[in-house]
Structure 1
């Protein structure tokens, strides 16, 4: 849908972490790299990784952005302002969601508070303070986020309204880019995770357990929504393993699935590997990052690292 002490160096973490037993191809050698604290609301929701392998995490209910370097150093980069009285749909409290990073280091995040003055897209430039660049509907739940570096546009899922917005990264008015039943919720939350890949916007629907592909038309509009995979309850965010359409999807029921281009899927990581309500995935080279927020387990939020066998 946070960080207690400084992490040790990556080598030390991998050497000292417990060996997991349930990972299956193409993942191997999963390790819990960091354990976080529920007492201080350290629950990682989303992640992006830069060229150096540094991870940038959003801590949903602490409203914080925290970078973690490959050497294990971390600090709170920014804390978004708290609303006077949060009334976020489905949650009731302020929620810091998706994160994307531009090549110049600018970070973008989605923020939902249930209030018109704070809900929307926020940005933090290197050395700067967080500020809102676009408003989004206060009665919605902006969640997944993806940046199109070629066009300078951002795409945002709204899990309550079941739509995908598009807006300029520099700020401005958000417009509904895609809508339809495939994106809508059936009970709690619809459109959730979001990625740009191979000429399309890809998204998940948490309630319906689906992976969706929405191709760009020649003019950049949304084409027909394609259902690419089904049967994954509580699917959250995801990441592609390479240039093809194979992806890894985090599921809130303590599972990471490998989803093949034909829509078949199998478990690659489970609770036996240490997952505690995994929320998102990042792939950097041969390394896979999986944050777990423990939203449903209320136990041991953490960051898992695994090797991706190419």
Structure 2
């Protein structure tokens, strides 16, 4: 099966060992809630954005869907994107069409990314409340758009491309994409490079899955990428905790969630023993930590875990 082979490649490319402390020393607690998804239907949760009422909106990668997960665990599919004419086999590296990064405006409009391997579908998509999905910006079919953030005040979206090794900016209303940075620290090394993306303290912060790094790129100097943390094999998406530059990060193939303070060794927050199945992204609301697991290589029980966030350092 092409999908299974592609996901196995992810395990081989992202596998690694991170020197971390035990979960107990990091103040972790057992997950207090779980929502389980259907692997056979392609419900592999890739990215998440939180809504004011406590719902989580997720992208189901292999199903090409965007779905809302209510606080009571019910799941409602909001959009299913069209399948490419070739079935997605020409999607770079992975060989299947997938929805990836997602973000939300204050009015409830959702923006998300679709990598299909075809010029007619790959790009930035928008879904207004009660509307239907619409592509607002075309992106290169030979790329793999992945992480996405919204600068609502600046009226721009920023996204990473994991194959082309770039950060791209797009007007929030749609239109032509422009390469914002192609710093060498974003480049891939055989598999996937620039991945997760966040806007924080006057800079874009990105991860590089292949290199296991966390990067800071000042908004006023996009060609400059400062490596803030290393040794994070298989790092996917992340979230800032509110304690300076500290982040919680999902490490996919190592099957862990870690806390990262620049200048310090990472510490474990959650492991497979807590129910992780290849975590892809995290989000924080108050003291609650949301963790998505896509089961890309475990091939079982893709899920959403909710647990108490570790105490801030």
- Contact 2:203–2:218 (Cα < 8 Å) also in 1: yes
Aligned to 2:109: 106
Using the alignment, how far apart are the partners of 2:32 and 2:187 within structure 1? 35
Q: Are positions 1:68 and 2:47 aligned together?
A: no
What is the aligned partner in structure 2 of residue 39 from structure 1?
40
Q: Counterpart in 2 of 1:231?
A: 231
Equivalent residue, structure 1, for 2:164? 161
TM-score between both structures, scaled by the size of structure 2? 0.88
Indicate yes or no: 2:224 matched with 1:212.
no
3-state SS of paired residue (1:272): helix
| Partner Cα distance (2:73, 2:275) in 1 | 19
Which residues in structure 2 correspond to 1:73-84 (within 5 Å)?
Answer: 73-84=74-85
Residues 280-291 of structure 1: pairs in structure 2 closer than 5 A = 280-291=281-292
Of 144, 147, 151, 1:144 maps to 147
Structure 1 gaps of 5+ residues are 1-20
Number of positions where the alignment pairs a residue of Structure 1 with one of Structure 2? 287
Contact 2:30/2:274 (<8 A) preserved: no
2:273 counterpart SS class: helix
Per the alignment, in what secondary structure is the counterpart of residue 167 of structure 1?
Answer: strand
The corresponding residue for 2:198 is 195
Could you tell me how far 1:31 is from its partner in structure 2?
Answer: 3.6
Contact (CA 8 Å) 2:183, 2:223: kept in 1 or not? no
SS in 1 for 2:103: strand
Going from structure 1 to structure 2, the CA distance change for 1:241 and 1:45 (only over 3 Å counts) comes to same
SS in structure 2 of the partner of residue 75 of structure 1: strand
CA distance in 1, matches of 2:249, 2:202: 20
**The 10-residue stretch of structure 1 (70-79 or 97-106) with the greater mean CA deviation from structure 2:** 70-79
3-state secondary structure, aligned to 1:182: helix
TM-score by length of structure 1 reads 0.89
For residues 230 and 182 of structure 2, the distance between their equivalents in structure 1, rounded to whole angstroms, comes to 19
Determine the C-alpha separation between the residues in 2 that align with 1:23 and 1:54: 29
Instruction: Confirm or deny: 8 A CA contact 1:32 1:274 kept in the other structure.
Output: no
Residue 276 of structure 1: aligned partner: 277
Could you tell me which runs of 5 or more consecutive residues in structure 2 were left unpaired when the two chains were aligned: 1-21
SS at match of 2:281: coil
What is residue 257 of structure 1 aligned with on the other side?
258
Q: Residue 26 of structure 1: CA displacement?
A: 4.6
Equivalent runs, 1:2-81 vs 2, <5 Å: 22=23, 24-81=25-82
- Asked if residue 88 in structure 1 is aligned to residue 91 in structure 2, the reply is yes
